[in-house]
Structure 1
């Protein structure tokens, strides 16, 4: 991390921690300045990435949350087998198809998303722009 980055949290997780992690990320996002639909979208995007780790990448991962300038970032990483070829480039799955919308939803909700994947694991970075916090009068 550079000098402009403010670490907020870093934690390993498994399926057991998913709900608590969602609440913790939500609390930190709110304290960082996200509210309303932007807050809900951030929490949902992070939750989708975390759920993908526990469902498809060996059940354990690492979540890091930090601020830099006017952005809130969350990185979710795992050491699973990687995302299958063609999955990241595919459009939203048909409505009658069960599943397969997690990363599509992450990209839709986020201001920026970076996904690095390979046989040694996957790293998903979610970025939301923060609005300036009004100063008290």
Structure 2
């Protein structure tokens, strides 16, 4: 097997954000590429954060030997269970190393076998948002592994569309349809808030219209509905999430909204609809300066949920769907 496309490159600091997909076949190929990438960083004195799932994290540690002690590892299966929490994790990493003239690197695996279809869609949105989030900041290099043997063909095809560059075997190919020419490029696809409708629930749905006067009653009904599904602690989280989303609807979405609740396998799904429009594609993915004052609702919801999906467009309004507890598709 030929070496990875990034192996022959000198480990020099990155002047701008470099975001590449790494297409690999099986664990052996992953370890070979990831080890080369990490050791290249260490040789240059660069900090490295690796956020991949098991068993790949363990295999990489074994391959690195004592060098693994110089690498920071993050359990992406936990930290990135809700894909909207991945950019904040990378932002923390960037903030910690932004002043390092030697540069820094990361390996981030947002999509792995076992992700639900709804999670994969949100991970793909996350991948497109990475350039929006980091192109204007300090330079660093992020490599996103995709397992050719375990992931469906359409997921691999989408990796080309969501990355400026793609490393395949010993070659590097352009992504974004070959149009990307660096930060600020007019050809760079602009990430936007998704507008396509979410799939409708298959089972019974409980629905309630709300406004400022009915928030107390709404919270009581959410707790009553949620506890048999996700238990007392899960019900408390559901009340918190719905309260934050409803407050956003009242403040920014026309003063009222519609709440829908349903059970999906062992999980609870809470959905809030209103007439407002969210224009910031990074809404809920940037840590707010304060957690009070009415501007942290989506952030708080993302910290609590297993999955948060936002769909917003002029003329259609906004739908925010939160999943709490259990497993399976949303």
* TM class by smaller structure: 0.7 to 0.9
SS in 1 for 2:231: coil
- Hey, what does 1:103 align to over in structure 2? 298
**TM-score under structure 2 length normalisation:** 0.36
| Further displaced range: 103-112 or 26-35 | 26-35
Residue 39 of structure 1 deviates from its aligned partner by: 2.3
**TM-score under structure 1 length normalisation:** 0.81
- Hey, what does 1:124 align to over in structure 2? 320
Residue 15 of structure 1 deviates from its aligned partner by: 1.2
1:52 equivalenced with 2:211 (yes/no) = no
Cα distance in 1 between the residues matched to 2:264 and 2:221 = 19
Specify which structure has the higher proportion of strand.
Answer: 1
The answer to whether the 8 Å contact 1:6/1:68 transfers is no
Cα distance in 2 between the residues matched to 1:46 and 1:12 = 13
Counterpart of 1:70 (choices 242, 266, 269) is 266
Cα distance in 1 between the residues matched to 2:265 and 2:326 = 9
Considering only CA atoms, is the larger Rg found in Structure 1 or Structure 2? 2
Specify which structure has the higher proportion of helix.
Answer: 2
- Hey, what does 1:79 align to over in structure 2? 275
**Higher-RCO chain (CA-CA 8 Å, sequence separation at least 6):** 1
The answer to whether the 8 Å contact 1:71/1:127 transfers is yes
- Hey, what does 1:35 align to over in structure 2? 232
Cα distance in 1 between the residues matched to 2:240 and 2:296 = 12
Kindly report the root-mean-square deviation, in angstroms, between the aligned alpha carbons of the 2 structures. Answer: 2.1
Aligned residues: 126
Cα distance in 2 between the residues matched to 1:73 and 1:98 = 26
Counterpart of 1:18 (choices 191, 202, 215) is 215
Residue 95 of structure 1 deviates from its aligned partner by: 3.1
Unaligned runs of 5+ residues in structure 1 are 132-137
